[in-house]
Amino acid sequence: MITVTAIETGKAVMKKAQQAGRSGRGAIGRKIDIFRDRRWTDPLPILCFLIEHPEGRFLVDTGDTWRNSVPGYLPRWNPFFTREVSIKVAPQEEVGPRLAAMNIDPARDIAAVILTHFHHDHTGGLDHFPHNRIIAPREGYGFYSGFKGQLLGCLPQRWPIWFKPELVDMDGPPVGPFPASHPITRDGRILLVPTPGHAKGHASVVVRAGDITYFLAGDATYTQANLLADEVDGVTYNPAISLTTLRAIKAFAAQEPTVLLPAHDPDGLVRLRERRVLA
């Protein structure tokens, strides 16, 4: 029996031009559009996902932290952090207290934490996992762990000083339309596939739970509606690469019944509850 549970760790509000950029716009133009945009999304959930598997419990992403709103936590020289996105997390909404409320002790009960990518709203809860195995894509870690990360939505200066993730390469066999993969469990039912575009080295987590497959997309797409409309986000470093990723996810879902679960899609919670697959 393999199950997936969503854990909400607060809310994020972003510019609409971040959620979906204008088609034909390049990576830089999309950033300019975000700064100019006056339209904001509704508050969106910041989701982590708990996978229960015979080999253990796996947590995908760690959400953000209440400290995001402490003056000085975000670097002021980069207005993207402070002006273009709004993160609201109460202390008890962090992933650690959320797990505790489910009677789950990270040190005892979580086999591994898996990061899809290194943006701050996915790494902010790392502090709750000092004793855990943490798995992350090597390409993203290499790219974002230095100063470049602070320019591009990451806060490596806030990562716990013990943070030394187990870095993985996409050196496993192709999976459907994805050219490579990386197995997480011995039975191959949890695996990573490359979904670049939103961030370098971005990975999604595939969970094959018997008659249904869960696709934990991280930020490869913000919502299922964005995916279906081929809408590439404003964050992308390369719209063509992002579009290839969106089409690969759709091709994957055409091959097996798949519930799409991005990290910020409010409708994902309903799809998960009702096991509603991407048609």
Residues within the interface to Zn ion (CB under 5 A): 119, 219
What's the closest the beta carbon of residue 56 comes to Zn ion, in angstroms? 26
Residue placing its CB nearer to Zn ion in the complex, 64 or 208? 64
Using CA atoms, how far residue 116 sits from 3, 35, 75, 201, 275, in Å, is 19, 26, 23, 8, 22
Residue placing its CB nearer to Zn ion in the complex, 202 or 271? 202
Instruction: Using DSSP, state whether 230 is helix, strand or coil.
Output: coil
Residue placing its CB nearer to Zn ion in the complex, 189 or 198? 198
Write out the two tokens for 97: 């207290």
What's the closest the beta carbon of residue 191 comes to Zn ion, in angstroms? 21
Alpha helices in 200-258 (DSSP H): 224-228, 239-255
Of residues 72, 69, 52, the one with CA closest to residue 7: 52
Say how far apart CA 122 and CA 159 lie, in whole Å.
Answer: 11
Give the pairing of strands 44-53 and 56-60.
antiparallel
Residue placing its CB nearer to Zn ion in the complex, 15 or 53? 15
Of residues 47, 49, 7, 53, the one with CA closest to residue 184: 53
Residue placing its CB nearer to Zn ion in the complex, 209 or 227? 227
Output the CA angle 154-157-159, nearest 5 degrees. Answer: 80
What's the closest the beta carbon of residue 221 comes to Zn ion, in angstroms? 11
Residue placing its CB nearer to Zn ion in the complex, 30 or 119? 119
What's the closest the beta carbon of residue 200 comes to Zn ion, in angstroms? 11
What's the closest the beta carbon of residue 154 comes to Zn ion, in angstroms? 9
Say how far apart CA 160 and CA 129 lie, in whole Å.
Answer: 10
What's the closest the beta carbon of residue 202 comes to Zn ion, in angstroms? 8
Residue placing its CB nearer to Zn ion in the complex, 78 or 183? 78
Phi, psi of 57 (to 5 degrees): -95, 135
| Residue found by looking up tokens 């559009």 in the block | 33
Residue placing its CB nearer to Zn ion in the complex, 209 or 249? 249
What's the closest the beta carbon of residue 37 comes to Zn ion, in angstroms? 18
What's the closest the beta carbon of residue 73 comes to Zn ion, in angstroms? 18
Burial of 202 (0-12, 13-18, 19+ CB in 10 A): buried
What is the torsion angle, in degrees rounded to the nearest 10, for the CA atoms of residue 249, residue 266, residue 90 and residue 81? 60
Of residues 236, 176, 263, the one with CA closest to residue 26: 236
